[in-house]
Protein backbone atom coordinates (compact mmCIF):
# COMPACT_ATOMS: atom_id res chain seq x y z
CA UNK A 1 0.00 0.00 0.00
CA UNK A 2 1.02 3.64 -0.39
CA UNK A 3 2.06 5.49 2.75
CA UNK A 4 3.77 8.73 3.75
CA UNK A 5 6.88 7.69 5.63
CA UNK A 6 9.70 9.26 7.60
CA UNK A 7 12.19 6.94 5.93
CA UNK A 8 15.39 8.14 7.58
CA UNK A 9 16.74 10.69 10.01
CA UNK A 10 16.67 14.19 8.54
CA UNK A 11 14.22 16.54 6.83
CA UNK A 12 11.59 15.30 4.40
CA UNK A 13 8.98 12.60 3.92
CA UNK A 14 8.69 9.86 1.32
CA UNK A 15 5.56 8.53 -0.37
CA UNK A 16 6.37 4.87 -0.81
CA UNK A 17 5.07 1.32 -0.77
CA UNK A 18 4.90 -0.41 2.61
CA UNK A 19 3.28 -3.70 3.71
CA UNK A 20 -0.41 -3.47 4.55
CA UNK A 21 -0.87 -3.64 8.35
CA UNK A 22 -2.50 -6.68 9.93
CA UNK A 23 -5.20 -6.38 12.60
CA UNK A 24 -4.53 -8.26 15.83
CA UNK A 25 -7.29 -9.97 17.84
CA UNK A 26 -8.46 -6.72 19.47
CA UNK A 27 -7.78 -4.43 16.52
CA UNK A 28 -9.66 -3.01 13.56
CA UNK A 29 -8.28 -2.45 10.06
CA UNK A 30 -9.39 0.84 8.56
CA UNK A 31 -9.33 1.96 4.94
CA UNK A 32 -8.21 5.54 5.35
CA UNK A 33 -10.30 8.11 3.48
CA UNK A 34 -9.19 11.48 4.85
CA UNK A 35 -6.34 12.70 7.03
CA UNK A 36 -5.52 16.05 8.61
CA UNK A 37 -2.04 17.56 8.82
CA UNK A 38 -1.08 18.42 12.39
CA UNK A 39 1.72 20.55 13.80
CA UNK A 40 3.29 17.31 15.01
CA UNK A 41 3.54 16.13 11.41
CA UNK A 42 5.28 19.39 10.46
CA UNK A 43 7.82 18.84 13.24
CA UNK A 44 8.49 15.33 11.94
CA UNK A 45 8.83 16.51 8.35
CA UNK A 46 11.29 19.27 9.25
CA UNK A 47 13.18 17.00 11.66
CA UNK A 48 13.57 19.55 14.44
CA UNK A 49 15.10 18.81 17.83
CA UNK A 50 11.88 17.31 19.20
CA UNK A 51 11.51 14.98 16.21
CA UNK A 52 15.14 13.92 16.32
CA UNK A 53 14.73 12.98 20.00
CA UNK A 54 11.36 11.24 19.56
CA UNK A 55 10.94 9.61 16.14
CA UNK A 56 12.56 6.32 15.17
CA UNK A 57 12.55 5.90 11.36
CA UNK A 58 11.29 4.27 9.30
CA UNK A 59 7.80 5.29 10.44
CA UNK A 60 4.43 5.85 8.78
CA UNK A 61 3.34 9.19 10.25
CA UNK A 62 -0.07 10.83 10.81
CA UNK A 63 -2.70 10.56 13.51
CA UNK A 64 -5.71 12.65 12.38
CA UNK A 65 -7.93 10.50 10.19
CA UNK A 66 -11.27 9.03 9.29
CA UNK A 67 -12.00 5.90 7.33
CA UNK A 68 -14.09 2.79 6.82
CA UNK A 69 -13.54 -0.37 8.84
CA UNK A 70 -12.78 -3.24 6.46
CA UNK A 71 -11.74 -5.98 8.90
CA UNK A 72 -11.91 -6.68 12.63
CA UNK A 73 -9.94 -9.00 14.90
CA UNK A 74 -11.41 -12.11 16.49
CA UNK A 75 -11.80 -10.43 19.90
CA UNK A 76 -13.55 -7.30 18.59
CA UNK A 77 -17.13 -7.14 19.87
CA UNK A 78 -18.75 -3.87 18.79
CA UNK A 79 -17.01 -2.26 15.81
CA UNK A 80 -17.90 -3.95 12.52
CA UNK A 81 -16.87 -3.79 8.86
CA UNK A 82 -18.54 -0.88 7.09
CA UNK A 83 -18.47 1.44 10.12
CA UNK A 84 -17.22 4.99 9.53
CA UNK A 85 -14.72 5.75 12.27
CA UNK A 86 -12.40 8.48 13.44
CA UNK A 87 -9.26 7.46 15.26
CA UNK A 88 -8.23 8.36 18.80
CA UNK A 89 -4.46 8.60 18.38
CA UNK A 90 -3.47 8.15 22.04
CA UNK A 91 -2.94 4.45 22.69
CA UNK A 92 -3.07 3.76 26.41
CA UNK A 93 -1.68 0.95 28.55
CA UNK A 94 -4.93 0.09 30.39
CA UNK A 95 -3.03 -1.01 33.51
CA UNK A 96 -1.62 2.11 35.19
CA UNK A 97 -3.36 3.80 38.11
CA UNK A 98 -5.17 6.38 35.97
CA UNK A 99 -6.27 3.89 33.33
CA UNK A 100 -7.74 1.61 35.98
CA UNK A 101 -9.55 4.60 37.51
CA UNK A 102 -11.11 5.50 34.15
CA UNK A 103 -8.88 8.55 33.65
CA UNK A 104 -7.46 7.26 30.39
CA UNK A 105 -6.32 10.66 29.12
CA UNK A 106 -3.89 10.75 32.07
CA UNK A 107 -2.21 7.44 31.19
CA UNK A 108 1.48 7.78 31.99
CA UNK A 109 2.39 5.22 29.32
CA UNK A 110 0.55 6.75 26.34
CA UNK A 111 1.85 5.78 22.91
CA UNK A 112 1.19 8.16 20.03
CA UNK A 113 -0.14 6.90 16.71
CA UNK A 114 2.13 8.17 13.95
CA UNK A 115 4.72 9.19 16.55
CA UNK A 116 5.73 6.07 18.43
CA UNK A 117 3.95 3.53 16.24
CA UNK A 118 2.77 3.29 12.63
CA UNK A 119 0.28 6.01 11.80
CA UNK A 120 -2.57 6.82 9.45
CA UNK A 121 -1.01 8.65 6.49
CA UNK A 122 -1.52 5.51 4.47
CA UNK A 123 -4.17 3.64 2.53
CA UNK A 124 -4.81 1.40 5.56
CA UNK A 125 -4.27 1.78 9.31
CA UNK A 126 -4.70 -0.48 12.34
CA UNK A 127 -5.77 0.61 15.80
CA UNK A 128 -7.30 -0.97 18.91
CA UNK A 129 -11.08 -1.32 18.89
CA UNK A 130 -11.50 1.11 21.79
CA UNK A 131 -9.64 3.78 19.80
CA UNK A 132 -12.05 3.61 16.87
CA UNK A 133 -14.85 6.14 17.39
CA UNK A 134 -17.84 4.92 15.38
CA UNK A 135 -19.99 7.68 13.89
CA UNK A 136 -23.56 6.62 14.55
CA UNK A 137 -24.97 9.85 13.13
CA UNK A 138 -24.30 11.42 9.75
CA UNK A 139 -21.11 13.47 9.74
CA UNK A 140 -19.18 15.18 6.96
CA UNK A 141 -16.15 13.06 6.08
CA UNK A 142 -13.79 16.03 6.20
CA UNK A 143 -15.04 16.94 9.68
CA UNK A 144 -14.71 13.32 10.80
CA UNK A 145 -11.05 13.46 9.77
CA UNK A 146 -10.30 16.26 12.23
CA UNK A 147 -12.04 14.81 15.29
CA UNK A 148 -8.62 14.52 16.95
CA UNK A 149 -7.86 18.29 16.95
CA UNK A 150 -11.55 19.07 17.36
CA UNK A 151 -11.34 17.01 20.53
CA UNK A 152 -8.41 19.11 21.74
CA UNK A 153 -10.55 22.21 21.19
CA UNK A 154 -13.58 20.75 22.98
CA UNK A 155 -11.48 19.47 25.90
CA UNK A 156 -9.94 22.93 26.31
CA UNK A 157 -13.11 24.97 25.72
CA UNK A 158 -15.21 22.96 28.16
CA UNK A 159 -12.61 22.56 30.91
CA UNK A 160 -14.27 25.44 32.73
CA UNK A 161 -17.88 26.67 32.51
CA UNK A 162 -18.20 29.36 29.83
CA UNK A 163 -21.94 30.10 29.95
CA UNK A 164 -22.31 33.88 30.21
CA UNK A 165 -18.56 34.35 30.61
CA UNK A 166 -16.04 36.51 28.77
CA UNK A 167 -13.50 34.26 27.05
CA UNK A 168 -10.01 35.09 25.78
CA UNK A 169 -8.29 32.70 23.35
CA UNK A 170 -4.65 33.32 22.44
CA UNK A 171 -3.68 31.65 19.16
CA UNK A 172 -5.98 31.45 16.12
CA UNK A 173 -4.64 28.23 14.69
CA UNK A 174 -7.18 25.53 13.76
CA UNK A 175 -7.62 24.33 17.34
CA UNK A 176 -7.98 27.86 18.70
CA UNK A 177 -10.55 28.62 16.01
CA UNK A 178 -12.58 25.52 16.85
CA UNK A 179 -12.36 26.34 20.56
CA UNK A 180 -13.83 29.77 19.78
CA UNK A 181 -16.74 28.12 17.98
CA UNK A 182 -17.32 25.71 20.87
CA UNK A 183 -17.18 28.44 23.52
CA UNK A 184 -19.67 30.60 21.64
CA UNK A 185 -21.95 27.62 21.03
CA UNK A 186 -21.76 26.81 24.75
CA UNK A 187 -23.06 30.25 25.71
CA UNK A 188 -20.04 32.50 26.24
CA UNK A 189 -20.95 36.19 26.31
CA UNK A 190 -17.88 37.45 24.48
CA UNK A 191 -15.22 35.38 22.71
CA UNK A 192 -12.05 37.29 21.83
CA UNK A 193 -9.28 35.51 19.90
CA UNK A 194 -5.80 36.91 19.31
CA UNK A 195 -3.07 36.24 16.77
CA UNK A 196 -0.69 38.07 14.43
CA UNK A 197 -1.87 36.33 11.24
CA UNK A 198 -4.53 38.35 9.44
CA UNK A 199 -5.78 35.38 7.34
CA UNK A 200 -6.41 33.37 10.51
CA UNK A 201 -8.04 36.33 12.24
CA UNK A 202 -10.38 36.62 9.24
CA UNK A 203 -11.28 32.94 9.68
CA UNK A 204 -12.09 33.61 13.33
CA UNK A 205 -14.93 35.89 12.34
CA UNK A 206 -16.40 33.20 10.12
CA UNK A 207 -16.40 30.60 12.88
CA UNK A 208 -18.08 32.66 15.61
CA UNK A 209 -15.56 34.81 17.47
CA UNK A 210 -16.98 38.17 18.55
CA UNK A 211 -13.64 39.91 18.12
CA UNK A 212 -10.44 38.85 16.35
CA UNK A 213 -7.54 40.92 17.59
CA UNK A 214 -4.10 41.42 16.02
CA UNK A 215 -1.87 41.78 19.06
CA UNK A 216 0.94 43.11 16.89
CA UNK A 217 -0.99 46.37 16.61
CA UNK A 218 -3.58 46.38 19.44
CA UNK A 219 -3.39 45.62 23.15
CA UNK A 220 -5.96 43.24 24.61
CA UNK A 221 -6.93 45.74 27.31
CA UNK A 222 -7.86 48.28 24.62
CA UNK A 223 -11.04 46.32 23.79
CA UNK A 224 -12.54 46.39 27.29
CA UNK A 225 -14.61 49.48 26.58
CA UNK A 226 -15.82 48.13 23.25
CA UNK A 227 -17.07 44.97 24.97
CA UNK A 228 -18.32 46.79 28.09
CA UNK A 229 -15.92 44.84 30.27
CA UNK A 230 -14.44 46.23 33.44
CA UNK A 231 -12.56 43.45 35.26
CA UNK A 232 -10.88 41.30 32.62
CA UNK A 233 -11.70 37.89 31.19
CA UNK A 234 -13.30 35.07 33.15
CA UNK A 235 -11.89 32.15 31.14
CA UNK A 236 -8.67 32.00 29.14
CA UNK A 237 -7.58 29.39 26.60
CA UNK A 238 -3.91 29.55 25.68
CA UNK A 239 -3.40 27.81 22.32
CA UNK A 240 -0.20 29.33 20.93
CA UNK A 241 2.63 28.22 23.20
CA UNK A 242 4.07 31.74 22.90
CA UNK A 243 5.55 33.29 26.07
CA UNK A 244 4.10 36.74 25.33
CA UNK A 245 0.62 35.26 24.82
CA UNK A 246 0.56 33.60 28.24
CA UNK A 247 1.84 36.72 29.93
CA UNK A 248 -0.79 38.85 28.17
CA UNK A 249 -3.48 36.39 29.17
CA UNK A 250 -2.51 36.41 32.84
CA UNK A 251 -2.43 40.21 32.81
CA UNK A 252 -5.94 40.37 31.37
CA UNK A 253 -7.72 37.83 33.58
CA UNK A 254 -10.23 38.85 36.21
CA UNK A 255 -9.71 37.88 39.84
CA UNK A 256 -10.53 34.20 40.19
CA UNK A 257 -10.10 33.68 36.46
CA UNK A 258 -9.42 30.24 35.03
CA UNK A 259 -6.92 29.40 32.28
CA UNK A 260 -6.85 26.20 30.22
CA UNK A 261 -3.43 25.83 28.59
CA UNK A 262 -3.12 23.64 25.49
CA UNK A 263 -0.33 25.45 23.61
CA UNK A 264 2.95 23.59 24.09
CA UNK A 265 5.86 25.99 24.66
CA UNK A 266 9.13 25.35 22.86
CA UNK A 267 10.98 27.02 25.74
CA UNK A 268 10.51 27.91 29.40
CA UNK A 269 8.07 30.78 29.95
CA UNK A 270 8.92 33.23 32.73
CA UNK A 271 5.77 34.78 34.19
CA UNK A 272 4.98 37.06 37.10
CA UNK A 273 3.66 34.50 39.58
CA UNK A 274 2.53 37.27 41.91
CA UNK A 275 -0.25 37.99 39.40
CA UNK A 276 -1.32 34.34 39.56
CA UNK A 277 -1.29 34.34 43.36
CA UNK A 278 -2.85 37.72 44.04
CA UNK A 279 -5.56 37.23 41.39
CA UNK A 280 -6.10 33.66 42.63
CA UNK A 281 -5.96 32.31 39.08
CA UNK A 282 -6.33 28.66 38.15
CA UNK A 283 -4.08 27.30 35.37
CA UNK A 284 -4.91 23.84 34.00
CA UNK A 285 -2.77 21.92 31.52
CA UNK A 286 -4.62 20.21 28.65
CA UNK A 287 -3.25 17.30 26.63
CA UNK A 288 -5.34 15.55 24.01
CA UNK A 289 -8.90 14.49 24.73
CA UNK A 290 -10.69 12.96 27.70
CA UNK A 291 -11.31 9.41 26.57
CA UNK A 292 -14.03 9.11 25.74
CA UNK A 293 -16.24 11.77 27.26
CA UNK A 294 -14.79 14.41 24.93
CA UNK A 295 -15.60 12.24 21.93
CA UNK A 296 -19.20 11.99 23.06
CA UNK A 297 -19.33 15.77 23.51
CA UNK A 298 -17.93 16.31 20.01
CA UNK A 299 -20.62 14.19 18.40
CA UNK A 300 -23.38 15.81 20.42
CA UNK A 301 -22.16 19.33 19.62
CA UNK A 302 -22.27 18.58 15.90
CA UNK A 303 -25.74 17.08 16.21
CA UNK A 304 -26.80 20.26 18.06
CA UNK A 305 -25.79 22.42 15.11
CA UNK A 306 -22.16 23.39 15.76
CA UNK A 307 -20.43 23.95 12.41
CA UNK A 308 -16.64 23.71 12.40
CA UNK A 309 -16.30 23.20 8.63
CA UNK A 310 -15.07 26.79 7.98
CA UNK A 311 -11.82 25.86 9.73
CA UNK A 312 -11.01 23.50 6.83
CA UNK A 313 -9.50 25.70 4.14
CA UNK A 314 -7.39 23.43 1.91
CA UNK A 315 -7.77 19.93 0.51
CA UNK A 316 -5.14 17.96 -1.42
CA UNK A 317 -4.82 14.44 -2.80
CA UNK A 318 -2.23 12.44 -0.89
CA UNK A 319 0.02 12.44 -3.97
CA UNK A 320 0.22 16.24 -3.52
CA UNK A 321 1.57 15.94 0.02
CA UNK A 322 4.49 18.30 -0.58
CA UNK A 323 2.15 21.15 -1.55
CA UNK A 324 -0.15 20.27 1.33
CA UNK A 325 2.65 20.40 3.90
CA UNK A 326 3.97 23.67 2.45
CA UNK A 327 0.49 25.19 2.76
CA UNK A 328 0.11 24.02 6.35
CA UNK A 329 3.56 25.33 7.26
CA UNK A 330 2.89 28.73 5.68
CA UNK A 331 0.38 29.50 8.45
CA UNK A 332 -2.04 31.53 6.33
CA UNK A 333 -4.62 28.78 6.40
CA UNK A 334 -6.93 26.77 8.60
CA UNK A 335 -6.93 22.99 8.56
CA UNK A 336 -5.27 21.21 5.63
CA UNK A 337 -6.59 17.77 4.60
CA UNK A 338 -5.26 14.90 2.49
CA UNK A 339 -7.68 12.76 0.46
CA UNK A 340 -6.66 9.08 0.39
CA UNK A 341 -9.28 7.91 -2.09
CA UNK A 342 -8.29 7.22 -5.69
CA UNK A 343 -7.55 10.32 -7.76
Residues 46 and 91 in one domain: yes
Q: How far is CA 79 from CA 30, 64, 90, 105, 178, in A?
A: 11, 19, 18, 21, 28
* Predicted local distance difference test score (pLDDT) of residue 266: 82
Residues 119 and 229 in one domain: no
For 198-209, write each residue's pLDDT tens digit. Answer: 999 999 999 989
Q: Which of 258, 263, 249, 272 is nearest to 192 (CA)?
A: 249
**pLDDT category of residue 343 using cuts at 50, 70 and 90:** low
Residues 55 and 119 in one domain: yes
**Catalytic annotation on 43?**
yes
Q: Beta strands of 242-285 (E only): which ranges?
A: 253-261, 282-285
Residues 142 and 265 in one domain: no
Residue 267 pLDDT exceeds 90: no
- Could you tell me which residues are annotated as the binding site? 38, 63-64, 93, 96, 99, 107, 175, 195, 200, 262-264, 286-287
pLDDT above 70 as % of the chain: 100
Residues 194 and 268 in one domain: yes
CB 148 within 8 A of CB 36: yes
* Predicted local distance difference test score (pLDDT) of residue 342: 82
Length of the chain: 343
Residue 257 pLDDT exceeds 90: yes
Distance CA 101, CA 163 (A): 29
**pLDDT category of residue 121 using cuts at 50, 70 and 90:** very high
Residues 53 and 115 in one domain: yes
Q: Average pLDDT of 56-74? A: 98
What's the chain's average pLDDT? 96
Residues 201 and 323 in one domain: no
Out of 43, 90, 105, 190, the active site residue is 43
Residues 200 and 89 in one domain: no
For 72-84, write each residue's pLDDT tens digit. Answer: 999 999 999 999 9
Residues 47 and 130 in one domain: yes
For 16-36, write each residue's pLDDT tens digit. Answer: 999 999 999 999 999 999 999
Torsions phi, psi for 210 (to 5 deg): -75, -30
- Could you tell me which residues are annotated as the binding site for NAD(+)? 175, 195, 200, 262-264, 286-287
Domain that holds residue 198: 152-285
**Catalytic annotation on 40?**
yes
Query: Does any domain span residue 227?
Result: yes
For the chain, the domain total comes to: 2
Amino acid sequence: MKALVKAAKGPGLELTEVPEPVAGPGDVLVRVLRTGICGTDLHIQSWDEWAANTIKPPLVIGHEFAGEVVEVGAAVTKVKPGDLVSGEGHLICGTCRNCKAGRRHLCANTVGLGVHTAGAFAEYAVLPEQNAWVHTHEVDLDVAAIFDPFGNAVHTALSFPVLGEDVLITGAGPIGLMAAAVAKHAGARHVVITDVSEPRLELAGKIGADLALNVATTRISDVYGQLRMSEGFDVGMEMSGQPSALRDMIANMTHGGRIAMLGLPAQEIPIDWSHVVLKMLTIKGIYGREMFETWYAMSVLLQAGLDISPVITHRFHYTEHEAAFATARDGRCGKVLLDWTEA
